[in-house]
């Protein structure tokens, strides 16, 4: 059950988290497939984060994101 515990709220992320691993919980507000790159807008009670899935950088994550 501890794998579901978030480390941040969407609205709390800032430039200091760039390159770090964070765990967010929320719902998919919008999903866009723009020719091979997926954009997912993840929303929680505190804000919105755009998550980008690129098949070149992380093919396994991209494959999982395609099933959303």
The DSSP bridge partners found for residue 53 are 38
Phi, psi of 64 (to 5 degrees): -65, -40
Q: What is the pTM of this model?
A: 0.83
Q: DSSP label at 2?
A: G
pLDDT digits (tens, 9 = 90+) for 21-59: 999 999 999 999 998 899 999 999 999 999 999 999 999
68 — pLDDT class (breaks 50, 70, 90): confident
**What's the pLDDT score for residue 3?**
74
How many contiguous H segments (helices) and E segments (strands) does the chain have?
1, 3
- Domains delineated in the chain: 2-65 (2.40.50.140)
**What's the pLDDT score for residue 32?**
96
Is 12 within 8 Å of 26 (Cβ atoms)? no
Question: Has residue 1 got a pLDDT over 70?
Answer: no
The rounded distance, in Å, linking the Cα atoms of 12 and 10 is 5
């Amino acid at each position: 059950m501890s794998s579901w515990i978030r480390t941040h709220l969407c609205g709390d992320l800032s430039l200091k988290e760039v390159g770090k691993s964070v765990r967010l919980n929320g719902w998919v507000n919008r999903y866009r497939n723009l020719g091979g790159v997926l954009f997912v807008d993840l929303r929680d009670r505190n804000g919105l984060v755009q998550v980008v899935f690129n098949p070149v950088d992380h093919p396994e994550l991209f494959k999982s994101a395609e099933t959303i």
